């Protein structure tokens, strides 16, 4: 008789959902090609957004700065001060819902919400670092024009707007004059990693986010950013890859099925294979197909058939506690079905870890550094999915060691608490030509 493990493995192989179905050399080559195309302004699924942020500047200390972290589900606001050792001290922290998360929001209400979130700290500093976890084209002045919403945020009227200008102009009307810089969360994470790893001689820096969405940032030589003509070729800057939109990774027919049911089919294909907004939903698509193909007994198949939604958090709790956690732990079903469900969900996490390792590896390799074991590349990895999902972080780190190790490239992970806020604060304090962003 075939056991649950063999059944699950055969199913995963048939649907090309298992790690051995991924040819990592092909995926890495495709990443490199798309990165090169994005840097030169050719058609590419990777936007490769220049940030005008250097990682070379020292952090001024004892100067307060307001930091904002507009993430997938929440907005966090705080003030920060760095001490002479570069240690950040955080104060006046508040946490709010991300406008447009869950239900649709008008343009007016969207900005009004941010103004309300910022008013309590608005007088505490004239400098703001604004971490914004969505694809935005950055202007040389440090504002960001929203290119598209990801993570199912619903505020369509805001697309195409300069986010910072719209918020800080409204605050100006209330008497507050801020100089601000807007940056992607991967860039904040990269900068926070740099400050956390300050004592070490790293060759370069990479930021990864794997939370509700996913993306990477790394440091590129200006001379390779040929789509811009006004850069000093001797300098370097952080690049926001927008790797969640990578569309050259082979997908399973079930990835395609999930994608078709999202608000933005065809966009962010890679993100939909690995990030927190989608892993639960993808698991449900996979489990429903397994039930249709009679991999489960009657009670197990009914339990899955009844489900209309499954979150990444629920999958994670089930993996941690398969005989007790909702929704499968408490349902009436054979333990062999529970074991099969667990094996399938765990395989999707394993694939997410492998693809995350490839995502990081692509950024590390593109930096062109890390060949000297004494000067590895610093990888700062953040996000709830990365840190909280059972086994994901450990497996990613193991896979990354294999992928980079076999190429003779050295890396090291660092972690910094409150990375998005800390990195935003660093960007605010170190931005070039600090002053007003726009002539008013």
What residues make contact with ligand BGC under the rule CB under 6 A?
Answer: 72, 133-135, 150-151, 184-186, 209, 211, 213-215, 242, 244, 271
Q: Which element (helix H / strand E) includes 76?
A: strand 74-82
Say how far apart CA 300 and CA 280 lie, in whole Å: 18
Instruction: Compute the least distance from the CB of residue 303 to ligand BGC, in Å.
Output: 31
Identity of the residue, 60 or 156, whose beta carbon is nearer to ligand BGC in the bound complex? 156
Residue 331 or 388 having the CB closest to ligand BGC:
388
Reported as half-sphere exposure (CB side, CA atoms, 13 A), residue 415 has a value of 6
- For 303, phi then psi, to 5°, come to -60, -40
Tokens 């506690």 belong to 321
H/E run at residue 217: strand 214-221
Strand arrangement, sheet containing 411-414: 49-50, 236-240, 214-221, 204-210, 377-382, 411-414
Cβ proximity to ligand BGC, 88 vs 211, nearer residue: 211
- Phi, psi (deg, nearest 5) at residue 193: -65, -40
Taking the least distance from each CB to ligand BGC, the nearer of 184 and 396 is: 184
Smaller CB separation from ligand BGC, 64 or 129: 129
Cβ closer to ligand BGC: 64 or 276? 276
- Smaller CB distance to ligand BGC: residue 420 or 437? 420
Closest separation between CB of residue 186 and ligand BGC, Å?
5
Residue 174: alpha-carbon gap to chain centroid: 34
| Minimum gap (Å) between residue 385 Cβ and ligand BGC | 10
133 or 366: CB nearest ligand BGC? 133
From the CB of 192, what's the least distance to ligand BGC, in Å? 14
Give min distance, CB of 196 to ligand BGC, in A.
19
Q: Please give the distance of CA 383 from its chain centroid, rounded to a whole number.
A: 7
- 185 vs 337, which CB is nearer to ligand BGC? 185
Nearest distance, CB of residue 406 and ligand BGC, angstroms: 28
Contact at 8 Å (CB) between 329 and 345?
no
For residue 40, how far is the Cα from the chain centroid? 23
Q: How far is the CB of 266 from ligand BGC (least distance, A)?
A: 14
Shortest-Cβ-distance residue relative to ligand BGC: 213
Q: Are 285 and 254 in contact (CB under 8 A)?
A: yes
In the complex, the smallest distance separating the C-beta of residue 243 from ligand BGC, rounded to whole angstroms, is: 9
Radius of gyration of the chain (CA): 22
Q: Which of 267, 278, 336, 354 is nearest to 310 (CA)?
A: 278
Minimum CB distance to ligand BGC, residue 206 (Å): 13
CB atoms within 10 A of CB 158: 19
Cα(273)–Cα(244) distance, rounded to whole angstroms? 9
Determine contact, residues 282/255, Cβ cutoff 8 Å: yes
Q: How far apart are CA 439 and CA 294, in angstroms?
A: 66
Between 111 and 134, CB nearer to ligand BGC: 134
> Residue 205: in which H helix or E strand, if any?
strand 204-210
Neighbours of 249 (CB within 10 A): 20
How many CA within 13 A on the CB side of residue 410? 10
């800390």: which residue's tokens?
422
Beta carbon of residue 70, minimum distance to ligand BGC (angstroms, whole number): 10
């Amino acid at each position: 008789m075939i056991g649950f493990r063999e059944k699950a493995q055969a199913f995963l192989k048939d649907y090309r959902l298992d790690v051995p179905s991924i040819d990592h050399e092909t995926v890495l080559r495709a990443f490199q090609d798309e990165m090169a195309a994005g840097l030169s302004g050719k058609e590419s699924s990777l936007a490769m957004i220049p940030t005008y942020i250097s990682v070379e500047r020292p952090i001024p200390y004892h100067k307060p700065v307001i930091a904002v972290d507009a993430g997938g589900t929440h907005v966090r606001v705080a003030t920060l001060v760095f001490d002479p050792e570069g240690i950040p001290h955080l104060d006046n922290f508040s946490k709010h819902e991300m406008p447009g998360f869950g239900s649709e929001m008008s343009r007016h209400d969207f900005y009004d919400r941010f103004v309300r979130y910022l008013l309590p700290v608005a007088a505490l500093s004239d400098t703001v670092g604004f971490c914004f976890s969505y694809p935005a084209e950055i202007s040389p002045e440090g504002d960001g024009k929203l290119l598209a919403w990801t993570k199912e945020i619903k505020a369509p009227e805001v697309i195409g707007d300069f986010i910072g200008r719209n918020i800080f102009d409204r605050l100006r009307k209330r008497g507050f004059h801020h100089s601000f810089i807007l940056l992607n969360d991967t860039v904040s994470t990269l900068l926070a990693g740099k400050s956390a790893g300050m004592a070490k001689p790293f060759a370069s820096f990479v930021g990864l986010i794997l939370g509700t969405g996913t993306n990477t940032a790394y440091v590129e030589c200006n001379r390779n950013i040929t789509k811009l003509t006004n850069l000093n070729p001797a300098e370097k800057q952080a690049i926001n890859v927008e790797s969640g939109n990578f569309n050259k990774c082979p997908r399973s027919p079930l990835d395609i099925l999930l994608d078709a049911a999202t608000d933005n089919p065809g966009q962010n294909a890679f993100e939909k294979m690995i990030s927190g907004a989608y892993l639960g939903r993808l698991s449900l698509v996979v489990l429903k197909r397994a039930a249709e193909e009679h991999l489960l007994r009657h009670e197990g198949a009914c339990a899955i058939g009844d489900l209309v939604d499954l979150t990444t958090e629920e999958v994670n709790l089930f993996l941690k506690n398969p005989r007790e956690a909702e929704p499968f732990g408490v349902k009436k079903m054979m333990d062999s079905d529970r074991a099969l469900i667990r094996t399938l969900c765990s395989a999707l996490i394993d694939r997410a870890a492998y693809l995350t390792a490839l995502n990081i590896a692509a950024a590390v390799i593109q930096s062109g550094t890390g060949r000297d074991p004494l000067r590895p590349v610093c990888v700062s990895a953040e996000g709830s999915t990365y840190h909280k999902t059972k086994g994901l972080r450990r497996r990613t780190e193991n896979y990354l060691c294999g992928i980079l190790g076999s190429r003779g490239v050295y890396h090291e992970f660092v972690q910094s608490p409150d990375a998005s806020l800390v990195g935003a604060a660093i960007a605010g304090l170190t931005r070039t030509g600090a002053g007003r962003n726009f002539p008013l």
